Chain A
Amino acid sequence: MMRPSLGLASLTAGTLTVAAAYIAVLLPGPAPAWPAWSVALGTCLLLFGFLDLGAGRRDGRPLAVRLVFAGTAIWVAVGFLGILWSTPADLETPFVWGLPLPAAWMIYVLGIGPALFLPLAWVVLFRSATLPDDALDRLRAAKRAHEAAGEDTP
C-alpha cells in the first residue's frame, strides 16, 4: 500500500529527474546541456529521500533530523552548482589553500564540507532521534513476547 511521505516523494522525484536526464542523453542527436543539471538536482533529491526515509521511526522523525538532511542536500547542490557554473581556471584565477578556485570548490565544499557536519549530526542526534535509551529493551521484550507466543521464526 502506498503511504505518502516527504522522503518517498523526494525519492520518486529524484528517480524521475535523473531518468529524464539519461533518456535525453540517449536520444539521437547532440546531447543537450541540461541533463547534467538534472542529474545534479536528482542526486540531491535522492540523497534527501533516502535519508528522510531512513530516519523514519514509529513516532515520526524530529524536525532537527529533517533540517539536517535538507541542509545536506542543499550543501551538495551548492557544491554541484559552483562547479557547473565555474569557468576554466588560468593563472589569474584565485587560489584557495593551494588549489585554483573551481578545483578548491570541488574538494573543499563538495568533498570535505558535508564531512564536517553530517557525521557529527548523527552523533548529536543519536539518542534523541536514532536509538533512544530504552529502544533495545523494548525490542528484546517484543522478541520475548514473540517467542512466548510460540510463533514460527522465518
Chain B
Amino acid sequence: MSHALLLAAQTGELPSAASPLVVGVGVAYFAVVVAIAVWASRRTRTREDFYLAGKGIGLIALTLAAMASTFSGFTFIGGPGLLFATGLGAMFFVLPASVTNAFTVWVVAKRLRLLVEVRPVLSIPGAIGLRYGSRAAQGWAGAAVLAGIIGYMATNVLALGLVLDALFGVGLGWGIWIGTTVVFVYSATGGILAGIYTDVFQGTIMAVASVLVFMYALDAGGGLGSISTTLLVADPGFMSPWGSFTPIAALSLYLLFSIGVVGQPHVMHKFFMIRDPSRLKWYPVLVTIAMALVILLMFGVGLAYKALVVTGQAPSPDPADNTAPLFLLQHTPRLLAAIVFSGIAAAMMSTVDAFLNVGAAAITHDIPTALGRPLEDELRAGRIATVVLAVASGIVAQTSGTLVALLGIAGYGLLASALVPALAVGLNWPGATRSAAIASIVTGLVSSLVLGLLTWGGAGDPILSVPEGITVSAMTLVLSLGVFLLVSALTRGGTMDELDDDVRLALEI
C-alpha cells in the first residue's frame, strides 16, 4: 500500500468500544450538538447567516473551528496509524503546522476578510471571481471545489460510520446514515453558524483529550527517552526522520501541506466570518497552540504503541489505523476513551459540515452565477443543496468500495492544485491575469483527477507509478503554479489595475 493510501481516513473495521459508559458519553455528545443546531437554526435567517455566520464570529470561535476543520479524524485515527506503520516520517504531514497558520494570515486571510468589507462575497470561488472580474473563473473554481470535496466528504462519512459502529455497535451501514443524518440536520438548519459552534465544542474536546492521551501514552511507554531507546534497538529506521519515506517523498509532503493549506476552501472560507478583522492579530498564535496540542496525540500514541508492540506488551494493530483505538481501550481510563471516541466522531462531523457548507455555496451560488442564472432564494436552495450533498456522500461512502479512498486522497491535492495559484498569488500580485487563473484552476482540476486515476491501483497494479513514492498532489500543485505564472506573463486582462478602487484597496492595504 502506498503512503498516500494510508492518508485516507479509516476504511477498515475498528475495535468495538461499545459499553454503557461509552454509549452514554456518545449520546450526551450528540445531544450537545443537537442543542447547538437548534440554537443556530433560530439565528439563521439570511444567506449571509447561512454561509458566513452573519460575519459575526469571534477569535476563539474562528480558532477552534479552523483547527477542528483542518484536522478532521486524521490526527486521531489516520495519523497515529500512519506513524505506527511508517515511522517518524509520518510527522511530515503535520510539521508544517508551525508555519502554515502565520503563512495563511499573511498570504490570504487578511485579504479575504477585507474583501467582504466592500463586496458581498459568500465563498472562495466568489472571491476568485471578484479578483479577476470573471464569472468563468468563479465557475471553474466552484467546479473544482465540488470535485474536491465530494470524495473528501465521502471518506469522512465512511470513517464516521465506522466510528459510530465501534461506539454503538450499530453496524457500518447504520453508522454511515446516523452520522450523515445528524450532520445534515444541523448543517441544513443552522448553516455555518451551527457548524462553527459545534466545531468550537468539538475542537475544545479534541485539544483537551489529546493532551491527556499524550500523557497516558508517555506513561505507558516509560517516558519519551525510554520509548525512543526501545524503538532505536528494535527498528532504527523507524526513528529516522524520514521513517520509511524517501527523503524527496517526505519533503514533498512538507511542500504540499505547508502551501496547500491556503487552497482548502472549508478552512479559508472561515476568514470571511470574523466580526472584526483586527481580531486576526492573535489568530496564528492561538491556532498554532491548538494544533500543537492536537498533534501530541498522533505523536505520542504512534510512538508509544509501537514501543508496546515491539516489547510484546500489546497486539499489533491490523490494520494500522487501529493503533489509536487499541491504545485508548487498553491504556487509558474508560471515561477518557469514551470522550476521545466521541471526539473522533465529532472531528469527522466538523469537517463534513464545513464541506457541506462550501459545497452548497458552489451549487447554489458560484456555478449559477457563472452560468448567468443566479438563484432567487439562495437560503432555501442552500438548505436543499446541503441535504442533497450529504445524502450523495452517504451513498458514495456506502457503495463505491475502495474508490472512496482515491477520492479522499485526491481531494486535498486537487483543492490545493486548483485554488492555491489563483487565490494565494492572485490576491497579492497585481499582474496576475484572468486567463492565468482559469488555466491554473483547470490544470489543477484535470491533472489531479487524471494522475490520481492513473496512479491509483485499486485492487490491482496502477497504470502509472511515481518513482520515490512522491505524492502526485505535490507535482500537480507545482504544475498549476507554473501554468499560472507562465500564462500571467503571456496574457493581459483581469489584472488589479482593472478593479474598482475599493476592491483594489482591499487587496493593497
Residue ID in chain B nearest A42 by CB atoms: B255
Residue contact B107 to A143, C-beta cutoff 8 Å: no
What residues on B are CB-neighbors of A131 within 8 Å?
A: 110, 277-278, 280-281, 509
Asked whether A39 lies within 8 Å of B481 as measured between CB atoms, the reply is: no
Contact B481 A15 (CB under 8 A): yes
Q: Are B118 and A106 in contact (CB under 8 A)?
A: no
Interface residue tally for chain A (C-beta within 8 Å): 82
A103 and B240 contact, CB distance less than 8 A: yes
For the complex, what is the distance from the CA of A57 to the CA of B506, rounded to whole Å? 10
Q: Would you call A122 and B106 a contact (CB within 8 A)? A: yes
Known: A21-B248, A88-B236. A83 touches B431 (CB 8 A): no
CA distance A122 to B106 in the complex (A): 8
Contact partner of B425 (CB less than 8 A), chosen from A11, A35, A91, A98, is A11
Please state if A111 and B95 are interface contacts (CB–CB under 8 Å).
yes
Say yes or no: A26 contacts B99, CB within 8 Å.
no
By a CB distance below 8 angstroms, the chain A residues around B485 are 11-12, 15
Assess the A18–B255 pair: CB atoms within 8 A.
yes
A6 at interface, CB cutoff 8 A: no
For A135, list chain B residues within 8 Å (CB). 509
Smallest beta-carbon distance A18→chain B, Å: 5
Chain B residues contacting A16 (CB-CB under 8 Å) are: 482
Asked if B88 is at the interface (CB within 8 A of a chain A CB), the reply is: yes
Interface magnitude class on chain B:
35 or more
Report yes or no: B281 in contact with A53, Cβ–Cβ below 8 A.
Answer: no
Contacting residues, chain A, for B431 (C-beta < 8 A): 1-3, 8
B-side contacts of A139, CB under 8 Å: 114, 117-118, 502, 505-506, 509
Q: What are 25 contact pairs spanning A and B, CB under 8 A?
A: A2-B488, A15-B485, A18-B474, A19-B482, A22-B475, A35-B248, A42-B255, A46-B255, A47-B258, A50-B424, A54-B103, A89-B236, A89-B239, A90-B236, A102-B241, A103-B88, A103-B228, A107-B88, A111-B91, A118-B98, A118-B99, A119-B101, A122-B285, A123-B282, A143-B117
Chain B 83-99 residues near chain A, CB threshold 8 A = 88, 91, 95, 97-99
A67 at interface by CB-CB < 8 Å? no
Q: Is the CB of A98 within 8 A of B254?
A: no
Q: Is A25 an interface residue (CB 8 A)?
A: yes
Known pairs A51-B107, A54-B428; A113 contacts B98 (CB<8 A): yes
Q: How far is the CA of A135 from the CA of B506 in the complex (A)?
A: 9
Q: Is there a chain A Cβ closer than 8 Å to B318's Cβ?
A: no
Q: Give chain A residues whose Cβ lies under 8 Å from the Cβ of B430.
A: 3
The 8 Å CB contact of B99, one of A72, A106, A123, A154, is A72
3 tightest A-B CB contacts, nearest first? A98-B224, A54-B107, A115-B98
Interface residues of B in 112-148 (CB under 8 A from A): 114, 117-120, 129-130, 133
Q: Which residues of A contact B262 (CB under 8 A)?
A: 50
Question: In whole angstroms, how far apart are the Cα atoms of A131 and B276 in the complex?
Answer: 12
Alpha-carbon separation in the docked complex, A19 to B65 (Å): 35
A123 and B285 form a contact (CB under 8 A): yes
CB-CB < 8 A to B228: which residues of A? 95, 98-100, 103
Checking A76, A112, A142 against B118 with a beta-carbon cut-off of 8 angstroms, the contacting residue is A142
Complex CA distance for A5 and B430, rounded to whole angstroms: 11
Task: Tell me which residues from 469 to 483 in chain B have a Cβ below 8 Å from any Cβ of chain A.
Answer: 470, 474-475, 478-479, 481-482
